[in-house]
Amino acid sequence: MNMHELYMKLALENAKGTKGQTTPNPQVGSVIVNDGRIVGIGAHLKPGEPHAEIHALRMAGEQAKGATIYVTLEPCSHHGRTGPCAEAIVAAGIKKVVIAAMDPNPLVAGRGVKILQDAGIEVIQGICEAESVKMNEVFNHYIVNKRPFVTLKSATTLDGKIATHEAHSKWITSEQAREDVHRIRHESAAILVGVGTVIHDDPQLNTRLPEGRNPVRVVVDSHLRIPLNARVLTDGQAPTWIFTGSETNEKKRQEIEDMGAKVFATDGQRVNLEQMLDILGRHELSSLLVEGGGEVNASFVSQGLANKLVLYLAPKLVGGKEAPTFLEGLGAVTMDAATQLSDLTVEQIGPDLKLTAYFPKSMK
């Protein structure tokens, strides 16, 4: 490992601790080195607050002059909630900038680098690039597609069941696995279930972690069947958004909205998932955790709307052809038509296995 990689990995570590805090912005870390000494470090903590480079520059002070700054993402060049970082780097007298990954937005990629180079600053690109891109998979998808990055999450027995044939599902996995799920919820901008889950389980869809952040709760409910006493409508723990079809019950809709929830009607009798994702994207919800039943999951997969799968496998067998699986619907006709996932990783959490894989990149 050379010195550039060493300092960039430190910058990446600074950024990794902010997962879930920065949405819809990326995770970014920065390190400033002068004469072999680290004189400044920083990370972007939340939208509207200074970017990683600014925190590092403030820490470095006068020692930034003639120094090298390491940053995990190309310094921004535009005026948004904060000023352009590229201009701040120039003003601080930095002599060299080392970048892990370029800005994924094709409309602005390269502009930050151009500002730096036009000022006579040496720029090195591509150090630990793959790690930076992986860390910002949510932002990279969102900034290009203007839709949230969709993760399907499910917990099943070894024979793929999410409940018994009598709909009993508490609990399939261990406490350790369920705690890991709450960590993922904390890192997600929104969480989605179908109305069937609300009716049968009355979930809170919150994050049960110390200082955990609750995501926006999204319910797919084509015919507004949600009970008015459902906890997602009454507990006030997080915003709740109901997506329904075009032929909605206006009286029920008004009752739901009077309780503080939002109701969005999409085209058609059933919820149009693509329109729903567009709406979530317009509201800057960059990631969506789908904790639906088999039919909801199948809708996302069959329409090519899922990006990532997180599957917890418990060492249990339920059996029964009537017991539901995490992916229902008609399914593939042939093995050639099966959805091929990639980049599979397996992690043991307590007695359970956590499988993570990615859907084809051709998916939306």
Domain spans, the chain: 3-140, 148-358
Kindly give, in sequence order, each residue whose CB lies less than 8 Å from that of residue 304, ignoring residues fewer than 6 positions away: 359, 360, 362, 363, 364
Residue 121, pLDDT > 80, answer yes
Residue whose C-alpha is closest to residue 4's, from 126, 159, 132, 170: 126
Residue 85, pLDDT score: 92
**235-248 tens-digit pLDDT:** 999 999 999 998 88
Q: Which residue among 13, 49, 53, 87 is the active-site one?
A: 53
Q: How many CB atoms lie within 10 A of CB 346?
A: 11
> How far is C-alpha 276 from the geometric centre of its chain's CA atoms?
16
> Residue 302: how many CB atoms within 10 A of its CB?
15
Question: In the predicted model, what is the mean pLDDT of residues 247-271?
Answer: 93
User: Is 185 marked as binding a ligand?
Assistant: yes
221, two tokens: 């409910």
Residue 287, marked binder = no
293 is in an annotated binding site: yes
Is 200 annotated to bind a ligand? Reply is: no
Q: CA-to-CA distance for 20 and 23, rounded, in angstroms?
A: 6
Pick the CATH number of 148-358 from 3.20.20.70, 2.60.120.560, 3.40.430.10, 3.40.640.10: 3.40.430.10
Lowest mean pLDDT among 76-85, 103-112, 260-269, 315-324: 76-85
Q: Domain 3-140 - what CATH class?
A: alpha beta
Could you report the per-residue pLDDT of 345-360, keeping only the tens digit for each? 999 999 999 999 999 9
Sequential DSSP letters for 100-147: EE--S-TTTTTHHHHHHHHTT-EEEE-TTHHHHHHHTHHHHHHHHHSS
On average, the pLDDT of the chain sits at 93
Cα three-residue angle 43-129-23, rounded to 5 degrees: 40
Query: Any bridge partners for residue 313, and if so which?
Result: 156, 353
Return d(Cα 48, Cα 185) in angstroms, integer. 22
The DSSP call for residue 177 is H
On whether the CB atoms of residues 171 and 312 are closer than 8 A, the answer is no
Q: How far is it, in rounded angstroms, from Cα 211 to Cα 183? A: 11
Residue 29 is assigned to a ligand binding site: no
User: What local confidence, expressed as pLDDT, does residue 82 receive?
Assistant: 66
Q: pLDDT by residue (tens digit) across 183-220?
A: 999 999 999 999 999 999 999 999 988 878 899 999 99
Quickly state the pLDDT bin for 313 (edges 50, 70, 90).
Answer: very high
**pLDDT at position 263 over 70:** yes
The residue ranking higher by pLDDT, 362 or 74, is 74
Give me the pLDDT at residue 168, please: 82
Q: Is position 53 annotated as part of the catalytic site?
A: yes
Residue 268 CA to residue 96 CA, distance in Å, equals 55
pLDDT value at residue 167: 82
The answer, yes or no, to whether residue 124 has pLDDT greater than 90, is yes
| Distances 159 to 100, 145, 186, 291, 329 between C-alpha atoms, Å | 42, 35, 29, 19, 17
13 Cβ contact partners less than 8 Å away, ≥ 6 residues apart: 29
Nearest to 198 by CA among 240, 166, 163, 247: 240
Q: Is 201 annotated as a binding residue?
A: yes
**299 CB-near residues (< 8 Å, 6+ apart):** 273, 305, 329
Stretch 115-122: mean pLDDT: 95
Structure confidence at residue 1 as a pLDDT band (50, 70, 90): confident
pLDDT of residue 105: 82
Q: What one-letter code names the amino acid at 53?
A: E
List, as one string, the DSSP characters of 188-212.
Answer: -SEEEEEHHHHHHH-------STTP
User: What is the pLDDT, as a whole number, of residue 249?
Assistant: 87
- What backbone torsions phi and psi does residue 236 show, to the nearest 5 degrees? 65, 15
pLDDT digits (tens, 9 = 90+) for 288-305: 999 999 999 999 999 999
* pLDDT, greater one: 145 or 106: 145
* Nearest alpha-carbon partner for 224 in 203, 258, 199, 202: 199
Instruction: Report the C-alpha gap between 76 and 70 in whole angstroms.
Output: 14
The pLDDT value recorded for residue 81 is 65
Question: What's residue 20's pLDDT?
Answer: 83
- Asked if pLDDT for residue 363 goes beyond 50, the answer is no
State how far the Cα of 26 lies from the Cα of 46, in Å rounded to an integer: 9
Closest C-alpha to 124, from 93, 91, 100? 100
Report residue 78's pLDDT band, with 50, 70 and 90 as the boundaries: confident
Alpha helices in the chain (DSSP H): 3-16, 52-60, 85-92, 111-118, 129-135, 137-145, 175-187, 195-201, 231-234, 250-258, 273-282, 294-302
Is 167 annotated in a binding site? The answer is no
> The tokens of 149 are what?
């990055």
Residue 327 has pLDDT above 70, yes or no: yes
